[in-house]
């Protein structure tokens, strides 16, 4: 058993990740037997999180990607393949690895992978929940954030919803997407059409509204949070 989870990752990641490519099929044995498929799926997710998110430093990832046994050998091998300006310092890499090991320990015990491989039924649910929460915080979701005009909270996570909730979710994502808003602003939305936009413009600008229109203007002010 390795002394911490990043050391264990260094041992096992070679079965999942090679030459910048994630393997579709993973085959390895622990004490002569194949681990549960659910554990393999967790390991893949954990390793992808380590390599694809900004949770770990790039220098730590250089070490994890390398098949070399020591940090020095990993750094030397990396430096021999890049330009001089891209080369990294061995001491800096060691410092980054130590920092990241301590960072990981805040979320996963040193023997997490060992316990999952041997006692998955007792440990997998907790480990998966921790990983799911970390992914939400550290994985790159800029494209999704840029696509919405509202900023959604990151501190909630639900793995399933019912069909009704799914319908509401997709409806609201559509409503608050920049794509939909752009279509509306161009007057090309099939539901929020130019006739409706024209009436809205009339209500907010006219000084000669009848009683019904004044009531509707009051409703619009309430919707928009404008003091009536």
Tens digit of pLDDT per residue, the chain (228 long)? 557 899 999 999 999 998 888 988 888 888 888 888 999 999 999 999 999 899 999 999 999 999 898 999 999 999 999 899 999 999 999 999 999 999 999 999 998 999 999 988 889 999 999 998 898 888 767 788 788 888 887 777 777 888 999 898 898 898 889 998 898 888 888 888 889 989 998 998 998 999 999 999 999 999 889 876
Q: Which two tokens stand for residue 79?
A: 């430096």
From start to end of the chain, where are the E strands? 17-18, 21-22
| Residue 177 bridge partners (DSSP) | 148
Distance CA 121, CA 90 (A): 40
Helices 71-79, 90-105: axis angle to 10 degrees equals 120
How far is it, in rounded angstroms, from Cα 165 to Cα 208?
Answer: 43
Give the model's pLDDT for residue 101. 95
Buried b (16+ CB within 10 A) or exposed e, 60-96: bbbbbbbeeeebeebbeebbeeeeeeeebebeebbeb
- In angstroms, rounded to a whole number, what is the distance separating the alpha carbons of residues 169 and 17? 35
- Residues whose CB is less than 8 angstroms from the CB of residue 22 and which lie 6 or more positions away in sequence, other chains included: 16, 44, 48
Locate 82 and state its tokens. Answer: 């890049």
Domain boundaries, the chain: 5-140, 142-192, 193-228
Is 206 within 8 Å of 189 (Cβ atoms)? no
Q: Which residues contact 209 (CB under 8 A, 6 or more apart)?
A: 203, 217
Quote the pTM value: 0.69
Question: For the chain, what is the total number of helices (H) and then of strands (E)?
Answer: 12, 2
């Amino acid at each position: 058993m390795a002394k911490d989870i990043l050391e264990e990752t260094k041992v096992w990641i070679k079965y999942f990740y090679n030459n910048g490519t994630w393997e579709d099929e993973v085959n390895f044995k622990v004490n002569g037997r194949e681990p549960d498929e659910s554990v393999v799926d967790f390991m893949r997710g954990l390793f992808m999180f380590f390599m694809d998110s900004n949770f770990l430093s790039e220098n730590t990832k250089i070490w994890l990607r390398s098949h070399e046994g020591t940090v020095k050998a990993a750094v030397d091998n990396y430096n021999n393949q890049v330009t001089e300006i891209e080369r990294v310092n061995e001491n800096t890499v060691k410092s980054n690895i130590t920092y990241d090991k301590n960072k990981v320990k805040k979320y996963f015990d040193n023997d997490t992978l060992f316990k999952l491989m041997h006692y998955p039924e007792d440990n997998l649910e907790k480990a998966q929940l921790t990983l799911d929460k970390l992914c939400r915080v550290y994985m790159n979701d800029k494209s999704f954030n840029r696509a919405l005009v509202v900023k959604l909270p990151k501190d909630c996570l639900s793995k399933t919803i019912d069909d009704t909730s799914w319908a509401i979710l997709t409806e609201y994502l559509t409503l608050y997407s920049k794509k939909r808003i752009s279509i509306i602003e161009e007057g090309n939305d099939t539901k929020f059409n130019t006739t409706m936009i024209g009436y809205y413009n009339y209500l907010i600008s006219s000084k000669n509204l009848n009683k019904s229109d004044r009531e509707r203007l009051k409703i619009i002010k309430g919707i928009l949070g404008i003091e009536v």
